[in-house]
Amino acid sequence: MSILVALIALSLLIIIHELGHFLAAKAVGIKVLEFSLFMGPKLFSFKKGETEYSLRLIPMGGFVKMEGEDEESDDARAFSNQPVWKRAVAVSAGPILNIVFAFILAVIVISQSGFTTNTITQLTDNSPLKEIGAEVGDKLISYGGKRIFDPSLDIVTFLYGEDGRAKKITYFDVSENRKVTKTAAPGKTAVRYRLGFTAKLIDNEGSNIIEMIEVDSPLEKAGIKRGDKIIRLDDTEVNSTNDIINYLNNERQDKSAPLTVTVERDGKILTFENIVPFSDFSYTLGVGLEYRKGNAFEVIGASFRYSVSTIRNVLISLGWLIDGTVSFKELSGPVGIIGSVGSVVESQQPVNVIIINLMYLCAFISINLGVMNLLPIPALDGSHLLILLIEKVRGKPLPQEKVGLISMIGFVLLIFLLIGTLINDIPRFLL
């Protein structure tokens, strides 16, 4: 059931993408031959005007077929015979509609769940913000030269790629009615010991059932799998995530020593010995921010800031992938997306909470889909836009064989990328 819901959700986002191409092509007068829901052999179709509308067998995605899109055509309304600006509108509309759709989902979610503001409500004793003079009631503006739009996303993202060096922090001092910019290094949390897994939520509480295993974690190396239920650490019984955290960080005298993990798998009890927990820490600003609900205008504003933050964070993450801040092993693909959606669906929470969480995840995926497609990567919409820009500058189109070669290279690269993400995702979500 969860896989079916995940496939439907992912297909919806792809159909939204193709709908953007379809509506834009129709709007600028490009001839559309077919608009299809799903892929594979045709199950049903009907023709309205010049366009065939079809339903196909494989419940995944969809496509738009325009006259002259991939070949020469004598039709005056063929894609290839249109001015550059019309083709650019048709090409860019798909990813843009993904982003607009994500914004609409965000409005619905935030209207129900509320949003985080930039207003400081709490400062810990060792907070770097407190050290530079910020007080409760002040408003956090930027960190490291980057504006904070959605604090719940931006602060986590900025600190994830943190190197520990001092950064410029800007906040609005309410008592003095002015902006203040000072330099401070982020704080560090206490060292924590972990086994490297995410637990399944039951009644909004972390259980002892493994939902996902981190790449290269102690559990993965030992052969423990997704779905295993951790019932004992050494001789201590554990029944929840809190029990596991407490044993690893408080009850053991030598917290870095190897331990024995006992799990239940398909009714069998399995024991794994000599598992060494790994230790880490995270950077923190030691700040609590206001969380509240708002009126319609505030919800729209918060949804816009969420969209801007997510778009920027996608680009930041790509930069981290290039410079090595994050490993390729952390990259996820279609299986990972389906696994994440499935985890939301399977969570033992009220139906309305599951729906809101699913909409939030779909908004995030939709923005990612839109932004990635706008990048100038061969075979994606962004590369087509780049080719159109080159054509505009040259005053004539690129030879069709060169465009085809670029698309073929991009297709091959995407296949290799897909294979790479499958290698990453299968151990995490399927094994």
Region 324-350: what's the mean pLDDT?
Answer: 67
The torsion defined by the Cα of 339, 224, 331 and 38, in degrees rounded to 10, comes to -30
Q: What is the pLDDT of residue 339?
A: 64
Region 82-108: what's the mean pLDDT?
Answer: 96
Q: Which tokens go with 88?
A: 């650019």
Residues 6+ apart with CB under 8 A from 6: 337, 338, 339, 341, 342, 345
138-151 pLDDT, tens digit each: 999 999 999 999 99
Spatial distance between the Cα atoms of 143 and 285, rounded to a whole number of angstroms: 10
Mean pLDDT of the chain: 88
Q: Which tokens go with 244?
A: 């596991």
Q: Which tokens go with 418?
A: 């897909």
Q: What is the pLDDT of residue 428?
A: 59
**Which residue has better confidence, 307 or 204?**
307
Residues 6+ apart with CB under 8 A from 37: 15, 54, 55, 56, 62
Q: What is the pLDDT of residue 389?
A: 93
Q: Provide the CATH number for the domain formed by 115-189+283-326 in this structure.
A: 2.30.42.10
Q: CATH topology of 115-189+283-326 equal to that of 194-279?
A: yes
**Class of 194-279 in CATH:** mainly beta
207-231 pLDDT, tens digit each: 899 888 887 788 888 888 888 999 9
Q: Rounded to two decimals, what is the model's pTM?
A: 0.86
* Least confident window among 32-36, 63-67, 248-252, 325-329: 325-329
Judged against a pLDDT cut of 90, whether residue 407 lies above it is answered with no
Judged against a pLDDT cut of 80, whether residue 80 lies above it is answered with yes
Domain ranges of the chain: 2-33+59-111+363-430, 115-189+283-326, 194-279
17-34 pLDDT, tens digit each: 999 999 999 999 999 999
Q: What is the pLDDT of residue 186?
A: 92
| 431 pLDDT tier (thresholds 50, 70, 90) | low
Region 65-80: what's the mean pLDDT?
Answer: 87
Share of the chain above pLDDT 70, in %: 92
Closest by CA to 306, choosing from 106, 163, 159, 144, is 106
Which residue carries 């801007």 as its tokens? Answer: 308
Give the DSSP per-residue string, 404-421. Answer: HHHHHHHHHHHHHHHHHH
| CA pseudo-torsion sign 163, 167, 172, 174 | positive
The torsion defined by the Cα of 205, 209, 212 and 214, in degrees rounded to 10, comes to 100
Q: Angle at the Cα of 368 (from 365 to 373), degrees rounded to 5?
A: 130
Give the DSSP per-residue string, 90-145. Answer: HHHHHHHHHHHHHHHHHHHHHHHH-EEEEEEEEE-TT-HHHHTT--TT-EEEEETT
Judged against a pLDDT cut of 70, whether residue 342 lies above it is answered with no
- CA 265: distance to chain centroid? 30
Share of the chain above pLDDT 90, in %: 56
Region 398-426: what's the mean pLDDT?
Answer: 74
Q: What is the pLDDT of residue 26?
A: 95
385 and 88 Cβ atoms separated by less than 8 Å: yes
Highest mean pLDDT among 32-41, 84-93, 325-334, 422-431: 84-93
Judged against a pLDDT cut of 60, whether residue 430 lies above it is answered with no
Judged against a pLDDT cut of 70, whether residue 336 lies above it is answered with no
* Least confident window among 195-204, 282-291, 327-336: 327-336
Q: What is the pLDDT of residue 206?
A: 85
369-388 pLDDT, tens digit each: 999 999 988 878 999 999 99
Q: What is the pLDDT of residue 408?
A: 79
Where are any strands of DSSP class E within 124-226? 139-143, 146-147, 167-173, 178-184, 187-188, 192-194, 197-202, 205-213
Task: Report the SS3 class of residue 49.
Answer: coil
Angle formed by the axes of helices 2-28 and 334-346, to 10°?
120
- Secondary structure letter of residue 146 according to DSSP: E
Spatial distance between the Cα atoms of 381 and 94, rounded to a whole number of angstroms: 8
Region 386-402: what's the mean pLDDT?
Answer: 85
Phi first, then psi, for residue 153 (nearest 5°) are: -95, -50
Judged against a pLDDT cut of 70, whether residue 308 lies above it is answered with yes
Q: What is the pLDDT of residue 269?
A: 95
| 424 pLDDT tier (thresholds 50, 70, 90) | low
Region 238-264: what's the mean pLDDT?
Answer: 92
